[in-house]
Amino acid sequence: MSGAVLFIKEDLKISSTQVEILVGTLNVFSLIGSLASGKTSDYIGRRYTIVLASVTFLMGALLMGLAPSFPFLLAGRVVAGVGVGYALMIAPVYTAELSPAMSRGLLTSLPEVFITFGILLGYVLNYALSSLPGRINWRLMLGLAAVPAIGIGLGVLVMPESPRWLAMKGKFSDAKQVLSKTSSTEAEAELRYEEIVKAASLGSSQAHEGDKGEGWHGQGVWKELLVSPPRPMRRMLVAAIGINFFMQASGNDAVIYYCPEVFRAAGIHKKKHLFGVNVLMGLAKTSFVLFSALYLDKFGRRPLLLLGSVGMAVSLAGLGLGSKFLEDSNNRPIWAIVLCILAVCADVSFFSIGLGPVTWVYSSEIFPMRLRAQGSSLAISVNRLISGVVSMTFLTISKEITFGGMFFVLGGIMVVASVFFYFFLPETKGKTLEEMETIFEDKNSTTNSIRIMEMGQI
C-alpha cells in the first residue's frame, strides 16, 4: 500500500484524508477479525481458522485489484482487514501450540519474519511495477496479494491440527499422533503429551460440566479473563495487552505506510527514488528480523525486547532531529536527508529485533491452554485498534506538529515502553506453555512491578 497509494491518489483523485482512511481501514477492520478469531479457532480448530483467514484475504485482494472506484477499493480493504485480523492471531498461536519449548521462540517468530519478507517483496514489486501506466500498476501491487493467500489455503491441507486444541476437545489419541510427528524423539513426545493432558484435564475441571470435551467451544472464557481473573491471569493480560499496545503506539506501521510521504517532504520527489528508499528500509528490516528469530531462544525475550525498544527511541529521536532541520532549512542539507534515511532504517531494524517478533511470541505463549486463543485475540485486538488509530491520524497530526514533532512524540512513547517492558514482562525462554502460569504467579518476579505501581499511586 505504501507504494500503491502514490498512484491511487493520482488516478482516483483522492484527498490526504481519504488516503488516511484507506490505509487505516485495514487495521481498524482487522480488529473484527482478531476479536472473532479466538472464539472461531476454539470452535472449528486452528487449521480451519487459517483457511478462513486465507479465503477472506483472497476476496479482499481481488476486490482491491479490480476496484473501479474509491468505494470499491475501500470495500476490498475492509474485507482484507478482517482476514488480516484472523491471520495475525491464529498464525503465532498455532505455531506456539505445535512447537517444542526450546525452539518455540524461533518458530513462533516466523510469522513476523514472513510479514517482514512480505513487506520487502511489496517494496520490490512497487519499484518494479512503478513504470507501468498509473491505472494498472497500483492494481497489480494490491491484486498480487491474492497469490500468497491461495498458497496458504492450499498449504494448510498438509498441516496437522494443534495437539493442544485436540486435547481440549478430548481427542487425546489424535493429539499424541501429532506430537509424535513434531517431536525429536518419542520420549520428548511422551513428555509433551503428559503435560498437555494434565493441562487439558485441569482446564476441564475449571470449566462448567457441560463445557467439557466435544461440547466445549470456548464458552465462558471471556468471563474468566475479564470478570474475576486470578492474579497470574491479570499479570498475563497486562503483559499481553501492554506489549501489543506499544508495538503499534511505536508508529512502526505508520512509518512503513507513509515513508514515501516523509521523504517527499524531505525533498526526495522522484517516485523511483522514493521506492528505492523503501527497498533499502525493507532490506534492513528483513535482515534484523532474521537475526532476532535465530537468537530469540538463546538470548531470551526480554534482552532483545529492551534492546529493540531503546534503539527505537534513539532512532526516532534522530529521525525527528533530521526532519526538523529539513523543515526549517530552505536548502535541504544532504546530511539531514542521510540522517533521516539512516534513522528510518535503524528504527525498523530495532523494531525487527524486539517488538516485531517478540510481540507475537509473547502473546501466543503466556496464556493457559484453555484461554490462549481468546486471550491472544483480545491482546491482538488492542494491537489492531491502536494500529488503525495511528495510521488514520499520522498525517493529520503531522500537519499540525510537523513530521519532526511526530517522531519526537513516538520516541517518547518508546521510552515509556522500555520502562514498561523492564518492570512488567518476565522472561519466558525455555519454559513449556504449561509452565507459564507459574512464572506469572512468582512473587519474586513481581516485586519490581508492585514497587513501581505503588510509586505511581503515591
Domain ranges of the chain: 1-159, 166-201, 230-457
Fold of 230-457: Growth Hormone; Chain: A; (1.20.1250)
User: For residue 82, what pLDDT is reported?
Assistant: 93
User: For residue 245, what pLDDT is reported?
Assistant: 96
420: amino acid identity, one letter: F
Q: What's the CA dihedral at 2, 6, 7, 12 to 10 degrees?
A: 110
User: For residue 207, what pLDDT is reported?
Assistant: 46
Residues of the chain whose pLDDT is less than 70? 202-222, 257, 262, 265-269, 271-272, 442-458
CATH match of 1-159 with 1.20.1250.20: yes
Measured between alpha carbons, how far is 446 from 101 in angstroms, rounded to an integer? 23
User: For residue 451, what pLDDT is reported?
Assistant: 45
Matching CATH topology for 1-159 and 230-457? yes
Which residue's entry shows cell 482516483?
12
Per residue in 96-114, pLDDT (tens digit) is 888 887 788 888 888 888 8
User: For residue 454, what pLDDT is reported?
Assistant: 42
Per residue in 263-317, pLDDT (tens digit) is 776 666 676 677 777 777 778 888 888 888 888 888 889 999 999 999 999 999 9
